[in-house]
Chain A
Amino acid sequence: MNAIEIRNLTKYYGKSRGIIDVSFDVKQGEIFGFIGPNGAGKSTTIRILLALIYPTSGSATIFGKDSIKYAPEVMKDVGYLPSEVFYYDGMKVIDLLRYSASFYKKDCSKRIKELSEAMDLDLTKKIDDLSFGNKKKVGIVQGLLHEPKLIILDEPTSGLDPLMQQKFFELLEHENKKGATILLSSHVLSEVQRLCNRVAIIKEGKIIKLEAMNALNEENFKRFKIDVAADIPKNYFQFDGVNDLQVKGKTHSFLFKGNINEITQKLAGIKISNLWVDEPDLEEIFMHYYSKEE
């Protein structure tokens, strides 16, 4: 049984498109990344999964049960960490966490203590008095205190300092090792790169790519940067397999996928003063997928 199965999910807001025909599965125990630009439909998809909004057509199941029809039951095993957290006026952190725990039929007091210690969260403070980052921590503890089998995160690390981000990743990886499935929506590609096994890329409401993380990394792109000794034509390196060619003075840079001998042959024909070759990070691959669709 898959943790999440989404089939032809479509949502229109009046006439404007939310998402169109979105389908993908999230397997149990995997960490799945869901990436896309603003307005692509990430939040829409997630909000339908959480039964906050209703689809125009299509279906979604969580652990085999229809996520809309059986929402109250399904949510017992789901932890949701929204990107921006808001809580009730005048509540202390511990009050909110206890209130959250009261919805699950289990004793979460030990977990609350463990998690808040791990995240360095002061339980006695009033939530109104906390900084954005600390409020975020409340959201993290709140989402994990009932040991959910599925964790859904929306822009999880915005607002956290790098040290806390590390602790948070370790926490997530620890939960994942214990068997939790994680669905993570983000624009911060480094966190997607660090955590995810598989990734779905969504743009303008449609899934444009569904790929395993290492396949995406191994897309055999290489980034070249060449300083030439004497000026050469601006389109010298413009041919099949070359992307994003940029020429600044004597420096030519581009991404290349294909038979690398084509590049070495081109290089052999000119005099160069410097050469850099490395693997692009996900950000550049990502941008490539966007510009390709233009």
Chain B
Amino acid sequence: MNIYLQELRAYRRFTIIWTVSLVGLVLLYLSMYPAIGKDAESFIKVLEGYPKEVREALGMHLESITSLLGFYSFTFTMITLFGAIQAMIIGTGIVSKEVRERTADFLMTKPVSRTRIMTEKLLAAASTIVFTNVIFLTTASIMANTVKTTEFDGGVFFMMTVTLFFVQLMFLAMGVMLSVILPKMKSVLPISLGVVFGFFAIAAFGATSGDEPMRYLTPLKYFDTAYIMKNGQFETPFVVTGVLVVATAITISYFVYKKKNIHAV
């Protein structure tokens, strides 16, 4: 597990910064809730001023946004967006950096199979995501309980929060797959941002046009927090699709990585 530990060490600062940022974001949002909860009617009037399309795109559901869970659900549009960026950056980076930073000649001439390299790196990346989500869940729960005005369903809260983890897993897997398929990745950031914002645009477009099948094209929308709030469960077809996305991306990654030619710098 030496590669695993090395990668954890290498991504320590990155993970802490992103975790703190996501936590900061949710705490900021939740801290605004008491003001909204107190003066629900005027808040709704302000939101009515936004065009319907914008509200759909941002996940603002007027009938529920003044409840804690409803408000929390609204914040998740932004949170999953940032979470996806974090996962995509580490996904596209963790394998391809050996080539970019030219350490491939070191690591890949060690007595270790490429399969094992890929496995340990995937586990390391997944571990950072787990860490982020555990911290996020803990702090969000504490904050939610602090700012609540009425009791809320803890189970639903948990389910909504865990959607962050699922979205991040999908983007992590897709990121790794992209990084092994593309012949050369000079910089991880442009492609990560591009892909995530691309999916966000599809999601926004899909939300405004009400086109359900379009949701399958954008992993950001596989887990709809509004639906979870209403029904207390995930949507099975999307869960299955999500699992398929992760499984396919990872399988392709293993295959391509094993056969890839690693050229000299």
Chain B residues with Cβ under 8 A from A10's Cβ?
none
Tell me whether A52 and B2 are in contact in the complex, defined as CB-CB below 8 angstroms, given that A72-B112, A104-B111 are known contacts. no
Cβ contacts A to B, 25 pairs, < 8 Å: A47-B262, A51-B108, A51-B109, A52-B104, A52-B105, A52-B108, A52-B262, A52-B263, A53-B261, A53-B263, A71-B113, A72-B111, A75-B109, A75-B110, A80-B105, A80-B109, A84-B265, A86-B102, A86-B106, A87-B103, A99-B6, A102-B2, A103-B111, A103-B112, A142-B106
Chain A residues with Cβ under 8 A from B110's Cβ?
75, 100, 103
CB of B240 within 8 Å of the partner chain: no
Chain B nearest CB from A94 CB (Å) reads 14
Distance, CA A74 to CA B194, complexed state (A): 41
Tell me whether A52 and B109 are in contact in the complex, defined as CB-CB below 8 angstroms, given that A86-B265, A99-B2, A99-B6 are known contacts. yes
CB of B46 within 8 Å of the partner chain: no
Instruction: List 11 additional A-B contacts (Cβ < 8 Å) besides A75-B110, A142-B106.
Output: A52-B263, A71-B113, A75-B112, A78-B109, A80-B109, A82-B105, A82-B106, A86-B101, A89-B10, A100-B110, A103-B111
Residues B2 and A87 in contact, CB atoms below 8 Å apart: no
Residues B105 and A88 in contact, CB atoms below 8 Å apart: no
Distance, CA A74 to CA B112, complexed state (A): 10
- The residue from B10, B112, B264 contacting A88, defined by CB atoms under 8 A apart: B10
**Total count of chain B residues near the partner, CB < 8 A:** 22
CB of A253 within 8 Å of the partner chain: no
Chain B nearest CB from A97 CB (Å) reads 11
- Nearest 3 interchain pairs by C-beta: A86-B102, A102-B2, A75-B111
Residues B111 and A76 in contact, CB atoms below 8 Å apart: yes
Q: Which residue of B lies closest to A53 (CB)?
A: B261
Residues A54 and B259 in contact, CB atoms below 8 Å apart: yes
- The residue from A52, A72, A80, A85 contacting B113, defined by CB atoms under 8 A apart: A72
Chain B residues with Cβ under 8 A from A71's Cβ?
113
Binding site for A on B (CB under 8 A): 2, 6, 10, 101-106, 108-113, 116, 259, 261-265
Chain A nearest CB from B239 CB (Å) reads 37
Chain A residues with Cβ under 8 A from B106's Cβ?
82, 85-87, 100, 142
Chain B residues with Cβ under 8 A from A278's Cβ?
none
Residues B101 and A88 in contact, CB atoms below 8 Å apart: yes
Residues A89 and B109 in contact, CB atoms below 8 Å apart: no
CB of A157 within 8 Å of the partner chain: no
Q: Which residue of A lies closest to B261 (CB)?
A: A53
Q: Contact string, A86-123, partner B, CB cutoff 8 A, digits 1/0?
A: 11110000000001101110000000000000000000
Binding site for B on A (CB under 8 A): 43, 47, 50-54, 71-76, 78, 80, 82, 84-89, 99-100, 102-104, 142
Distance, CA A104 to CA B261, complexed state (A): 24
Q: Which residue of B lies closest to A86 (CB)?
A: B102
Chain B nearest CB from A74 CB (Å) reads 8
Distance, CA A67 to CA B262, complexed state (A): 15
Chain B residues with Cβ under 8 A from A103's Cβ?
2, 110-112
- The residue from A54, A72, A89 contacting B101, defined by CB atoms under 8 A apart: A89
Chain A residues with Cβ under 8 A from B259's Cβ?
54
Residues A43 and B264 in contact, CB atoms below 8 Å apart: yes
Chain A residues with Cβ under 8 A from B101's Cβ?
86, 88-89
Chain B residues with Cβ under 8 A from A86's Cβ?
101-103, 105-106, 265
Chain B nearest CB from A33 CB (Å) reads 20
Chain A residues with Cβ under 8 A from B105's Cβ?
52, 80, 82, 86
Distance, CA A74 to CA B109, complexed state (A): 10
Chain B nearest CB from A31 CB (Å) reads 20
Chain B residues with Cβ under 8 A from A72's Cβ?
111-113, 116
Q: Which residue of A lies closest to B105 (CB)?
A: A82
Chain B nearest CB from A249 CB (Å) reads 46
Distance, CA A71 to CA B116, complexed state (A): 13
Chain B nearest CB from A105 CB (Å) reads 9
Residues B10 and A47 in contact, CB atoms below 8 Å apart: no
Residues B103 and A88 in contact, CB atoms below 8 Å apart: yes
Distance, CA A53 to CA B108, complexed state (A): 11
Residue among B111, B113, B262, B265 with the most chain A CB within 10 A?
A: B111
Chain B residues with Cβ under 8 A from A50's Cβ?
108-109
Q: Which residue of B lies closest to A85 (CB)?
A: B106
Chain A nearest CB from B175 CB (Å) reads 20
Q: Which residue of A lies closest to B104 (CB)?
A: A52
Chain B nearest CB from A141 CB (Å) reads 13
Distance, CA A82 to CA B110, complexed state (A): 13
Chain A nearest CB from B97 CB (Å) reads 9
Q: Which residue of A lies closest to B1 (CB)?
A: A102
Distance, CA A166 to CA B122, complexed state (A): 44
Chain B residues with Cβ under 8 A from A100's Cβ?
106, 110
Residue among B101, B102, B106, B263 with the most chain A CB within 10 A?
A: B106
Q: Which residue of B lies closest to A152 (CB)?
A: B109
Chain A nearest CB from B82 CB (Å) reads 25
Distance, CA A262 to CA B95, complexed state (A): 66
